Chain A
Amino acid sequence: MSPIPAINPAMSGLMPNVDMLQPGASPLPSTGIEMPSELGRAQEITAAQPTGDSFASMLGQMVSDVNGKQNISAQAVSALQSGQTVPLHHAVIAMEEANVSFQLMVEVRNRLLESYQEIMRMQI
């Protein structure tokens, strides 16, 4: 069960913008101006460091974690309602965990969007 089917496209829609923020991910279009050598070296150093998982895959992992928690809680509730011997507190704790992790995901999305809008409002 996916509680919010639209979130995956929405997240992947955010991804290209996120990738642009990463150093050296997408080179800026050439303006014909020679970059100062110090800056170029600094960029080389940051690009050479291993960054591990990308932010996008981390976010994707988090979304699937939250989805997994939602599934667990739905299973616990349906097991309880169909008369299986699931303790009540297991179902309620699973629901709470799903709820709080969903709130966390929404909060991450809100902050991302907020920072994106902040950048879009910037005077050039």
Chain B
Amino acid sequence: MIQILSGIQNTSAALDAEQTRLDVIAQNIANVNTTHGVDGKPYQRQVVVFETSLQQAMNGDGSAQMPAIQGTHVEKDSSPPIHIYEPGNPDADANGLVAMPNINMQDEMADLISASRTFEANLAVVKNARSMAMETLAIGKH
């Protein structure tokens, strides 16, 4: 198969990774007040861990090469829950403290900005690769 937009696999994988990060941040923000999860405990913040993996690909001469492709996996943030005093809450303990999820909204918003900017940067790479290919096709046109 001809490779018309070079390096697009890497950019596509990075876009996947940022999309996952955006989804996880959305999940964290949505569950900022979830005191009672499916296991009865407060929701635990999820973090996306970026990693690189090797993908089998072909060199121009047919030999195999191993370019690094970005991947992700989602893990739980194990920091302790934030306790607030709310004795009327059904999830409150004997001292009237409710365990809230370990989510800091300011951190999440900063992460959201970072993720969306990184996504935009990768989109700019795609746009640039496309316009370079189109300009190259116009070589010799008058």
What is the interface of chain A, defined by CB distance below 8 A to chain B? 62, 65-66, 68-69, 87, 89-90, 93, 96-97, 100-101, 103-104, 107
Contacts and interface: CB of A to CB of B under 8 A. Distances in A.
A93 B126 contact: yes
B8 A65 contact: no
Given A89-B19, A100-B133, A101-B4, 6 more contacts: A87-B16, A96-B130, A97-B8, A100-B4, A100-B137, A107-B137
B130 A62 contact: no
Give the interface SS of chain B, mostly helix, strand, loop or mixed.
Answer: helix
B102 to A, nearest CB: 28
Contact of A87 (B1, B2, B19, B130): B19
Contacts, number: 42
A3 to B, nearest CB: 16
Contacts of A100: 4-5, 130, 133-134, 137
Contacts of B19: 87, 89
Give the interface SS of chain A, mostly helix, strand, loop or mixed.
Answer: helix
Given A89-B12, A90-B12, A104 B4 contact: yes
Interface string B12-37: 10011001000000000000000000
